[in-house]
Every structure is written in structure tokens, then in C-alpha cells.
């Protein structure tokens, strides 16, 4: 986003807030229209119809929860303490209004039960004016929500969130995210541009996790989100909120946009590929011919390569700060040591047969033993405590393509 961050900072606070208030007003009008249609299909009484025609307030902090109603997304997490939630919604000085929207899979009875609970909660006479559930969630509803809400709520149970693209769409419109640290929000969260629910904890007891994070959600609403929205200097603009809106927009455009992705591809892959193509064809294709010859040479001889399991010098424990000498015998056949890399790979064991390879150390020839056999060795510095396993491998020297060619890697 060349220059985009500076351009966003230069937007006048008054203009940004006015644009957002217009979007919120459009959202409220759209909600009223939808609710009239919903209650009309149920033949609601005339008094209820008059009430839903004027639900919600275009000047109140508006929180949206809109997504697929899978159970792990915990759409009803806010209902864990209904008394506390009702106090937030019906506050005289700093009220909150909630918009829920979404669908459950036709065979997902638990998801449909979540919707039933939310609808029943929203239909209470003391809440109907500030808590709504929008049926038939579609692209039109989603567009109004990601543009007009003040807060985008996302509270899945960790670690099941795949990504959270709706939060990105909301953020680019200046809507602030309130989410658990899962999916994209693990990377996107910063206190300067949104809020987190909890600290990324995961509990084996899901019910306990829901209770803990429900309380964390109420706390962050009461102590951070609501005061930030209603903090107006001399009755003017919410300057702290506006600063977070700009930071949120910049973050998504810089780090989570297709433009950034395409630019990464261009810088990391397309441009190097074009440059390499030019180098390969330069001087009547000299580099390409050399690469072809190297490839044919390796393809013909690599099957001769064998490597023995590495062996350490000495027995017993190794203390932190000491060095460990490791050797391995490698048969290269007709290849020379100058054509390959031999590496010691080590890390904590996952099982008897599997390692989590965290470190690699290049090994060098310690002894030539004839008939294509070589002893390779290296010293490993023991910098951390713990149990480690190790293995070794042989790969060809050369450019990235040569080193990554399928079949040209031999493990001990």
C-alpha cells in the first residue's frame, strides 16, 4: 500500500466519523425494514409491529455478530450472564445495541438451537428495541453490517477458527474487532486497533473455557470498548476511537489485502523468476546449458548416494555450554564432496521414529576412505537443556531449484 498509510492518517476526523455515522444509520434503517418483514410473516400484533418499526438507535454503540452458526463459534457466549448483558444494553448513560445474523446448516440441530436461544432473548419486551436477530443472512445484510457496525464480535472456541475473513472486511471499513486470539486475529491484534478476549488460553474443559471467556468478554466491554466509544471531548468526537479506526484500516490494507499478497508474489517469486530467466538465456544460454548438464549429472549418479546414521563421540549426558562431536559415513559413489552438502539435523523427539527438526549444522569431510566413501564430521554447541535426537541428510549443492528437486535428498 504505497503511501496509503499516510493518506489514511490525513483523513479529517470529522469526515471519517460523519461517513461512519451515515453507514450506521443505513444499517439501522436496513435492520428495521428486515424486522418488519420478519414479524409480518408471523402475523405479529399491530403494537409489536409499531415497536419494531423504531427499534435501535443510530447514535448508540452497535455490536455485530454475523457468521455461520457452528457451535464452536459460540454465538450465544454473550448470554452466559443475561443480567449483566441486560445492564449493558439498557444503560442510561452508555447503552449498547446488538445485531445477530447468520444461518446454521440444515442438519446442524445444535446450531439451530443457538439461533432459537438468541431469538427468544431478543424477543423479550425489555430488549426488543436494542437486541435483534436478522433472518435470511445474505450478501446485502453482510454488506450493511461490515460497513455500519462499530464493533465486530468474534468469539470462537480456540483453536478452531480457520481464519476470520469477515473481521478483515469489517476492519477495512473502520469497524473495530473484538475477538479471541484465534485465526487471523492472532496476527492482526494490537491494542492500538482493537480488543482481545482473554490471552489465548485453551482449556480441556470447554464449559469452563466458555465461562472464563464470557466474563473476559463482559470485562473488556465494560472497561475498554464502551468507555472508548463514549469518551467525547466536550461533547465532540471520540478521538481515541477514531485513531483506532484509522489504525485498523491501515493494518488490513497493509497486511491482509489481496494487493499485499500479489505484491509479495511479485517481489518474492515473479520478479526473481523473470530475472533468473534472463540470466539463464544470457550469453547464448550458457547458464541454462550448465544447469541442464548438472541436472543430468545428478540424475544419473544420485542413486549411488547413501548415508549412515550419525554417531556421537562419547557417552552420557552433555551439559549446557559443552560441545558434542558428531560423525557420519557417506557413500557418494562417483560424486565428489564438493558437489553435495551433508547436514546434521537435530531437535526434540516427537516419538521414537520422528524428530521435530529445529536446527541444522553443515558437516565437512574429516576423512576420505576410498571407493567413494567419506567420513563427515561437525561440532554441535549445546546451548539449551532438554532431550534431543539427531539424524543427517545429503543434498546437492546449487541453486534453489537444484536443492529442491524431488528425489535428490538422501536421509540417514
Query: pLDDT-derived band of residue 25, with 50, 70 and 90 as boundaries?
Result: very high
Copy the grid coordinates of residue 196: 482481545
d(CA 399, CA 405): 10
| CA 161 remoteness from chain centre | 9
Check residue 2 and give its pLDDT.
Answer: 46
- The CATH number assigned to the domain with range 4-259 reads 3.40.50.2000
Residues 171/248, Cβ–Cβ less than 8 Å: yes
Query: pLDDT-derived band of residue 313, with 50, 70 and 90 as boundaries?
Result: confident
**Proportion of the chain above pLDDT 90, given as a percent:** 66
Residues making up the chain, counted from first to last: 412
Summarize pLDDT for 165-192 with one digit per residue, the tens.
Answer: 899 999 999 999 999 999 999 999 999 9
Over the range 22-46, which residues count as b (16 or more CB within 10 Å of their CB) and which as e? ebbeebbebbbebbbebbeeeebee
Query: pLDDT-derived band of residue 3, with 50, 70 and 90 as boundaries?
Result: very low
For 209, half-sphere exposure in the C-beta direction (CA atoms, 13 angstrom radius) is: 17
d(CA 157, CA 210): 8
Is the confidence at residue 1, as pLDDT, over 60?
no
Say which CATH architecture domain 302-411 belongs to.
Sandwich (2.60)
Q: Report phi then psi at 63, rounded to 5.
A: -110, 130
Is the confidence at residue 154, as pLDDT, over 60?
yes
Check residue 405 and give its pLDDT.
Answer: 85
Query: pLDDT-derived band of residue 348, with 50, 70 and 90 as boundaries?
Result: confident
Is the confidence at residue 316, as pLDDT, over 80?
no
C-alpha to C-alpha distances, 144 to 61, 175, 226, 350, 392, nearest whole angstrom: 15, 12, 22, 48, 57
- Residues 4, 6, 7, 9: what is their CA dihedral angle, to the nearest 10 degrees? 120
**Mean local confidence (pLDDT), 340-369:** 88
Summarize pLDDT for 368-404 with one digit per residue, the tens.
Answer: 999 999 999 999 888 888 888 889 999 999 888 888 8
Check residue 4 and give its pLDDT.
Answer: 57
Is the confidence at residue 359, as pLDDT, over 90?
no
Check residue 355 and give its pLDDT.
Answer: 80
Closest to 113 (Cα-Cα) out of 104, 101, 100, 121: 104
d(CA 147, CA 143): 6
Over the range 185-199, which residues count as b (16 or more CB within 10 Å of their CB) and which as e? bbebbeeebbbbbbe
Summarize pLDDT for 114-148 with one digit per residue, the tens.
Answer: 999 999 988 887 888 899 999 989 999 999 999 99
Domain residue spans of the chain: 4-259, 302-411
Across all residues in the chain, what is the average pLDDT?
Answer: 91
C-alpha to C-alpha distances, 188 to 43, 142, 191, 253, 358, nearest whole angstrom: 45, 21, 10, 11, 26
C-alpha to C-alpha distances, 292 to 285, 296, 334, 341, nearest whole angstrom: 11, 6, 18, 20
Q: Which residues contact 50 (CB under 8 A, 6 or more apart)?
A: none
Check residue 149 and give its pLDDT.
Answer: 97
Summarize pLDDT for 58-96 with one digit per residue, the tens.
Answer: 999 999 999 889 889 998 999 999 999 999 999 999 999
Amino acid at each position: 500500500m504505497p503511501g496509503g498509510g499516510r493518506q489514511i492518517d490525513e483523513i479529517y476526523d470529522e469526515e471519517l466519523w460523519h461517513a461512519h455515522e451515515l453507514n450506521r444509520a443505513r444499517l439501522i434503517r436496513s435492520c428495521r425494514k428486515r424486522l418488519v418483514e420478519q414479524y409480518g410473516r408471523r402475523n405479529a400484533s399491530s403494537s409489536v409491529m409499531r415497536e419494531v418499526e423504531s427499534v435501535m438507535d443510530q447514535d448508540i454503540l452497535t455490536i455485530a455478530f454475523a457468521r455461520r452458526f457452528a457451535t464452536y463459534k459460540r454465538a450465544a457466549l454473550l448470554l452466559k450472564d443475561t443480567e449483566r448483558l441486560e445492564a449493558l444494553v439498557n444503560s442510561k448513560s452508555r447503552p449498547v445495541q446488538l445485531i445477530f445474523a447468520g444461518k446454521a446448516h440444515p442438519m446442524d440441530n445444535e446450531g439451530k438451537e443457538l439461533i432459537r436461544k438468541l431469538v427468544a432473548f431478543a424477543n423479550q419486551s425489555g430488549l426488543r428495541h436494542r437486541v435483534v436477530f436478522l433472518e435470511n443472512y445474505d450478501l446485502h445484510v453482510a454488506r450493511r453490517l461490515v460497513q455500519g457496525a462499530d464493533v465486530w464480535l468474534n468469539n470462537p472456541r480456540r483453536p478452531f477458527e480457520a481464519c476470520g475473513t469477515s473481521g478483515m472486511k469489517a476492519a477495512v471499513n473502520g469497524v473495530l474487532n473484538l475477538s479471541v486470539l484465534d485465526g487471523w486475529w492472532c496476527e492482526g491484534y494490537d491494542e492500538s486497533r482493537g480488543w482481545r478476549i482473554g490471552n489465548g488460553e485453551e482449556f480441556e474443559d470447554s464449559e469452563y473455557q466458555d465461562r472464563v471467556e464470557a466474563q473476559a468478554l463482559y470485562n473488556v466491554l465494560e472497561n475498554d470498548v464502551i468507555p472508548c466509544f463514549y469518551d467525547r471531548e466536550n461533547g465532540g468526537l471520540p478521538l481515541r476511537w477514531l485513531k483506532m479506526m484509522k489504525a485498523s484500516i491501515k493494518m488490513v490494507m497493509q497486511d491482509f489485502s489481496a494487493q499485499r499478497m500479489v505484491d509479495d508474489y511479485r517481489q518474492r517469486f515473479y520478479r526473481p523468476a523473470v530475472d533468473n530467466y534472463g540470466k539463464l538465456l544470457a550469453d547464448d544460454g550458457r547458464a541454462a546449458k550448465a544447469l541442464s548438464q548438472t541436472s543430468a549429472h545428478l540424475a544419473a549418479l544420485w542413486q549411488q548416494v547413501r548415508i549412515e546414521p550419525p554417531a556421537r563421540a562419547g557417552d552420557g549426558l552433555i551439559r549446557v555450554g559443552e560441545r558434542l562431536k558428531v560423525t557420519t559415513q557417506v557413500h557418494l559413489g562417483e560424486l565428489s564432496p564438493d558437489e553435495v552438502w551433508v547436514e546434521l539435523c537435530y531437535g526434540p523427539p516427537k516419538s521414537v521414529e520422528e524428530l521435530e527438526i529445529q536446527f541444522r549444522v553443515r558437516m565437512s569431510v574429516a576423512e576420505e576412505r576410498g571407493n567413494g566413501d567419506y567420513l563427515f564430521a561437525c561440532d554441535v554447541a549445546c546451548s539449551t537443556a532438554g532431550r534431543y535426537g539427531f539424524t543427517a541428510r545429503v543434498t546437492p549443492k546449487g541453486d534453489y531449484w537444484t536443492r529442491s528437486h524431488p528425489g535428490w535428498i538422501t536421509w540417514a
